[in-house]
């Protein structure tokens, strides 16, 4: 990923890349892109809490994985902390969109803290599924990335020892459960659609009786953004993905673009772009992870226009109209 582009030696005379750089740049902008309903809800919860309670409002972990968004909320009075012991008595605290282990709201309640849950409802759905599978007497195989906040939150919904993390096909091959052992699988919501399907197929091959969710756990926004990248990447020499380095769904978009044959770069905003990346590029793709605001997409497009003459085309593969309800404390 992010391999350097070939550089031209000026002593060799004008290169094809230099000649193409004098030509217009075709910019293919993927749609859907950027904020999903879960991210919009989480940000709204922080902003409305600041209006309702006044600053400061405490937020456990980054509300979403985007520095631009987090810095904007800090400027409005949000204070981001790692653990609840950093929250003063009587202050409101918000749990991030990625979800938290069950013990976190229990501790907040025991302390008498006013807490609001910004967990994405699609992540909460996975939490409920985990509880139901444990009640049914099944051990859970959870497909996800170790250390990701969503994974930590989901593992913390069920008793220790009742869930096993599966990251790779090698992990699946190493599982020692008997073929008829009562098992269920669930997945992180921000995974690669293709990689997850491959893992699920392997688990179903090894454990024919394994139970799964009625619908795909990978969220609609993750699936839609990956499909949009698949639609544009085959035409592009380079795809820029706006997102944070710790954003799982953004990193998956880079991988999807690369599998389609394009070079791909994960950037946080326009200032991260090296103009040399555009050497030899006549068609460039642009998308944004689910935590990246549209303002950063426009910022990147405007910067590209400073470098080249740009023709912009939006390629739409799906329409999104999902809206999630606010917590009851803010619904009125």
Domain assignment present for residue 15? The answer is: no
The enclosing domain of 189 has a CATH number of: 3.40.1010.20
Identify the pLDDT of residue 215: 74
Let me know if 51 is a catalytic residue: no
Average pLDDT taken over every residue of the chain: 93
Please check whether residues 132 and 142 belong to one and the same domain: yes
Identify the pLDDT of residue 10: 36
For the chain, how many structural domains are there in total? 3
Please check whether residues 271 and 213 belong to one and the same domain: no
Identify the pLDDT of residue 218: 87
pLDDT > 60? residue 4:
no
Average pLDDT over residues 273-300: 97
Please check whether residues 112 and 158 belong to one and the same domain: no
In three-state form (DSSP H/G/I as H, E/B as E, the rest C), the secondary structure along the chain is: CCCCCCCCCHHHCCCHHHHHCCCCEEEEEEECCCCCHHHHHHHHHHHHHHHHHCCCEEEECCCCCCHHHHHHHHHHCEEEECCHHHCCCCCCEEECCCCCCCHHHHHHHHCCCCEEECCCHHHHHHHHHHHHHHHCCCEEEEECCCCCHHHHHHHCCCCCCCEEEECCHHHHHHCCCCCCCCEEEEECCCCCHHHHHHHHHHHHHHCCCCECCCCCCCCHHHHHHHHHHHHHHHHCCEEEEECCCCCHHHHHHHHHHHHCCCEEEEECCHHHCCHHHHCCCCEEEEEECCCCCHHHHHHHHHHHHHHCCEEEEEEECCCCCCCCCCCHHHHC
Average pLDDT over residues 196-209: 97
Please check whether residues 234 and 277 belong to one and the same domain: yes
Please check whether residues 113 and 42 belong to one and the same domain: yes
Please check whether residues 84 and 99 belong to one and the same domain: yes
* Structural domain that includes position 91: 37-117
Domain assignment present for residue 323? The answer is: no
Share of the chain above pLDDT 90, in %: 90
Q: Which of 164, 191, 218 is the last residue of a domain?
A: 218
Find the catalytic residue in 150, 258, 313, 320.
150
Domain assignment present for residue 3? The answer is: no
Domain assignment present for residue 275? The answer is: yes
Please check whether residues 125 and 190 belong to one and the same domain: yes
Range of lowest pLDDT (12-26, 39-53, 79-93): 12-26
Identify the pLDDT of residue 84: 96
Q: What is the pLDDT of residues 257-282, one digit of tens each?
A: 999 999 999 999 999 999 999 999 99
Q: What is the pLDDT of residues 147-194, one digit of tens each?
A: 999 999 999 999 999 999 999 999 999 999 999 999 999 999 999 999
Q: How confident is the model at residue 332 (pLDDT cuts 50, 70, 90)?
A: low
Average pLDDT over residues 273-294: 97
């Amino acid at each position: 990923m992010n391999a350097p582009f070939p550089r031209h030696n000026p002593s060799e005379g004008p290169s094809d890349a230099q000649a193409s750089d004098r030509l217009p740049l075709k910019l293919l902008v993927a749609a859907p892109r950027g904020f999903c309903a879960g991210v919009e809800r989480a940000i709204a919860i922080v902003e409305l809490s600041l209006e309702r309670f006044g600053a400061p409002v405490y937020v456990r972990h980054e509300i979403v994985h985007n520095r631009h968004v987090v810095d904007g909320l800090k400027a409005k009075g949000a204070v981001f902390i790692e653990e609840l012991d950093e929250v003063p008595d009587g202050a409101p605290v918000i749990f991030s969109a990625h979800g938290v282990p069950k013990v976190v709201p229990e501790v907040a309640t025991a302390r008498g803290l006013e807490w609001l849950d910004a967990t994405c409802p699609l992540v909460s759905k996975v939490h409920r599924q985990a509880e139901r599978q444990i009640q049914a007497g099944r051990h859970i195989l959870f497909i996800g990335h170790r250390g990701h906040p969503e994974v930590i939150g989901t593992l913390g919904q069920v008793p220790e020892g009742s869930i096993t993390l599966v990251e790779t096909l090698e992990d699946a091959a190493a599982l020692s459960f008997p073929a008829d052992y009562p098992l269920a699988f669930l997945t992180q919501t921000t995974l690669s659609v293709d990689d997850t399907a491959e893992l699920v197929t392997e688990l179903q091959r090894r454990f024919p009786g394994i139970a799964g969710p009625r619908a795909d756990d990978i969220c609609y926004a993750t699936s839609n953004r990956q499909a949009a990248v698949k639609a544009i990447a085959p035409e592009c020499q380079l795809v820029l993905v706006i997102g944070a380095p710790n954003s799982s769904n953004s990193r998956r978009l880079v991988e999807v673009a690369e599998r389609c044959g394009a070079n791909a770069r994960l950037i946080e905003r326009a200032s991260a772009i090296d103009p040399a990346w555009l050497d030899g590029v006549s068609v460039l793709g642009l998308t944004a992870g689910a935590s990246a605001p549209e303002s950063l997409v426009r910022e990147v497009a405007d910067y590209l226009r400073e470098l080249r003459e740009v023709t912009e085309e939006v390629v739409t593969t799906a329409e999104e109209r999902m809206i999630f309800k606010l917590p009851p404390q803010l619904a009125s």
